[in-house]
Structure 1
């Protein structure tokens, strides 16, 4: 079996670990320089290695195919530097795509690995950019992904699109006008920290004015639901458990809009002392608390 070239083997020893981490050689420039020194495979050698990998699962053949195409990943990753993500991270994700392409490469199809791999490399880089460009994912549907990776170059000078330009982009990319406008808004925004990022404790961070203390916090919502339930069906059930006199006393004392009756007024109504009314009231409230708790 034909052995890999001496140049490829020597360089590969240093680059084998760097495939997963382009910064392992010290700097990204050192990595790119080392990648560009690797020889390009001939079509015959590429076919031979592809057959060895397919038929014999030869990891050495896979390694040689990968190393010889690392320059392709660097070239593709450079096209996505405008998204503000580290070049080394883009290359790292592209290398993952290259490995997937090599694993699926069929030399009998008559297509060079470079043409086959570029689609896998771009797919991995696209996925990485969408995951990391914003804290909130900006593109999930096929139309949104298409717009995300094309709108920047199609928007003149980064200016806001007018209706005519929106119509042109929608026709070119075969998407809805609404999708174009929505993606423009998404890409024009930026992440904002809820907490104060400055050392100044007096800073007014969004967390101070975006929180809704009264309605949306989960524990408060549950408390409000429980309170509403007690005030409606729970209270009705607790009153139904009382005898007629006890219920009359509780309703007269606590459920009147005009402030409720006094102990003496109820004592005259029932012909007992005010102290007796107080005792009946206390016993009724205790019974109601027990019913509500259960």
Structure 2
């Protein structure tokens, strides 16, 4: 009720505000820019509140408060006044239109849904033009399928058909909380989140796996310390590198036969196994 009273009062005040002639508007803009005359700013913004209200009304179908849309448009109007250059031969209303629309649209994108959308210019254009384009295509002389309509919208706005379909589904239904209650056949109440099943590991399993991986990595690092330089090189090249080296290539690098490389690798693996068993036994005993 308070919001409605505020809206009516604001609209009446805007309708009573006199229009500004071009020269008067220019003089006020110069006074505000050069002298920061607050009275001049007030007259400029007051005389253009009709424009704010008119533009805000074009976005009322998004389900947000008209009063909030007008206030956001007023923010854009003040931004336009701060940036306006009176020496240019442009009416203030023409310049302010972009800032008012941008401020209102940004507010809608922030508050229309808990899921942020319109993060790019193409997505923003899709959000604000999808309904209008769909309605226009549906009223055309040809009867188009949903697929054909989405294809034409995607071409008109430069986005993918998948983006059009996703935005279409978002605009056709409101957000639903995962904590919203659902009444089942037995009469008991559950939440939507109770029916979401995850195939991933539980948090305690993730932590346990992380700890085990770190522990095994530490054991391996310590066990590698029992190897001599040549054994370490063979194990690193054969077992620890992404592309395991062949016995032949290692033999050529070390100047030994591939059979000798195999023997050294086998002995190094036995040494590693013994060192790891020893560390594991010590851990269990502790």
CA RMSD of aligned residues (A): 3.4
Match of residue 33 from structure 1: 12
Equivalent pair of 1:152/1:158 in contact (CA under 8 Å)? no
Match of 1:195 among 156, 173, 179: 179
Determine if the alignment matches structure 1 residue 168 to structure 2 residue 142.
no
Equivalent pair of 2:182/2:191 in contact (CA under 8 Å)? no
How many residues of Structure 1 are paired with residues of Structure 2 in the alignment?
224
Match of residue 41 from structure 2: 62
| Residues 60 and 24 (structure 1), Cα distance of their counterparts in 2 relative to 1, 3 Å cut | farther
| Residues 163 and 212 (structure 1), Cα distance of their counterparts in 2 relative to 1, 3 Å cut | closer
Give the CA deviation at 1:95.
0.5
Return the alpha-carbon distance in structure 2 between the equivalents of residues 158 and 225 of structure 1.
55
Equivalent pair of 2:183/2:190 in contact (CA under 8 Å)? no
Match of residue 143 from structure 1: 122
Match of residue 86 from structure 2: 107
1:150-161 mapped onto 2 (5 Å cutoff) = 150-156=129-135
Give the CA deviation at 1:184.
1.8
| Residues 234 and 174 (structure 1), Cα distance of their counterparts in 2 relative to 1, 3 Å cut | closer
Equivalent pair of 1:138/1:186 in contact (CA under 8 Å)? no
Q: Which runs of 5+ in 1 are unaligned?
A: 1-22, 241-283
1:178-257 mapped onto 2 (5 Å cutoff) = 178-196=162-180, 202-210=188-196, 212=198, 215=201, 217=203, 220-230=205-215, 232-233=216-217
Give the CA deviation at 1:173.
2.5
| Residues 233 and 177 (structure 1), Cα distance of their counterparts in 2 relative to 1, 3 Å cut | closer
Match of residue 288 from structure 1: 283
Q: After superposition, what is the alpha-carbon deviation per residue over 1:75-97, rounded to whole angstroms, capped at 9, x for unaligned? A: 10000011011111111111100
| Residues 34 and 197 (structure 1), Cα distance of their counterparts in 2 relative to 1, 3 Å cut | farther
Provide TM-score, normalisation by structure 2.
Answer: 0.67
Return the alpha-carbon distance in structure 2 between the equivalents of residues 81 and 61 of structure 1.
30
Match of residue 56 from structure 2: 77
| Residues 39 and 73 (structure 1), Cα distance of their counterparts in 2 relative to 1, 3 Å cut | same
| Residues 158 and 211 (structure 1), Cα distance of their counterparts in 2 relative to 1, 3 Å cut | farther
Provide TM-score, normalisation by structure 1.
Answer: 0.65
| Residues 57 and 176 (structure 1), Cα distance of their counterparts in 2 relative to 1, 3 Å cut | same
| Residues 207 and 163 (structure 1), Cα distance of their counterparts in 2 relative to 1, 3 Å cut | closer
Give the CA deviation at 1:221.
2.3
Q: Which runs of 5+ in 2 are unaligned?
A: 139-143, 225-278
Give the CA deviation at 1:41.
1.4
Return the alpha-carbon distance in structure 2 between the equivalents of residues 199 and 29 of structure 1.
42
Match of residue 126 from structure 1: 105
Return the alpha-carbon distance in structure 1 between the equivalents of residues 221 and 283 of structure 2.
9
Return the alpha-carbon distance in structure 2 between the equivalents of residues 97 and 130 of structure 1.
15
| Residues 149 and 25 (structure 1), Cα distance of their counterparts in 2 relative to 1, 3 Å cut | closer
Return the alpha-carbon distance in structure 1 between the equivalents of residues 62 and 29 of structure 2.
34
Match of residue 236 from structure 2: none
